[in-house]
Amino acid sequence: MDFNVPLDLWTAGCVTLLAVGLIVLAVVDLKTGYLPDPAQAILAVAGLAVAIIRSPIGVHWVWALAGAALNGAVFWGLRWLVSRWKGREAMGFGDVKLVAVGGLWLGPWALPYIMAAGGVLTLLGAGIASLVVRRALWRGEMPLGPGLAAGIFASYIAALMHIPGFHA
């Protein structure tokens, strides 16, 4: 395992761009319950551009597009299934788009990690916030975007550090 990350200017710029974009999306989702399309579009174009130019984690543009398609399809299917099961909207379409954007940056391999981190961090965040304010928050609905954003970023850093299982 090689945990040494060569932090050249390009890599630092890519990490910073991804981090800032995901933080903006997470904050807006926490405040409004929506993931804005313009911010997601900017992050999507940037992710594809990084894959075309030279991804620091080695994601080729073909794998970036495959990641977006696979991630989006899986989350759209999950959204459809859970919505049918619950009889109401279960997940916003912004969450589907966000994991597709994550696929542009990470390729198709990180989806299980993004999903696991998204779910765990969302529940953990809601639990901690509820403890802090001493009342239950989000009765029945919790913004998933911040957890997904954290999962995308953590997966990107793990791939950058060459942690096994996180590769391009």
- Residue-wise pLDDT tens digits, 83-122: 888 888 778 899 999 999 999 999 999 999 998 988 888 8
pLDDT of residue 128: 80
Rounded Cα–Cα distance for residues 29 and 45 (Å): 20
Q: What is the pTM of this model?
A: 0.88
Which of residues 125 and 23 earns the better pLDDT score? Answer: 23
Q: How confident is the model at residue 67 (pLDDT cuts 50, 70, 90)?
A: very high
Which of residues 137 and 109 earns the better pLDDT score? Answer: 109
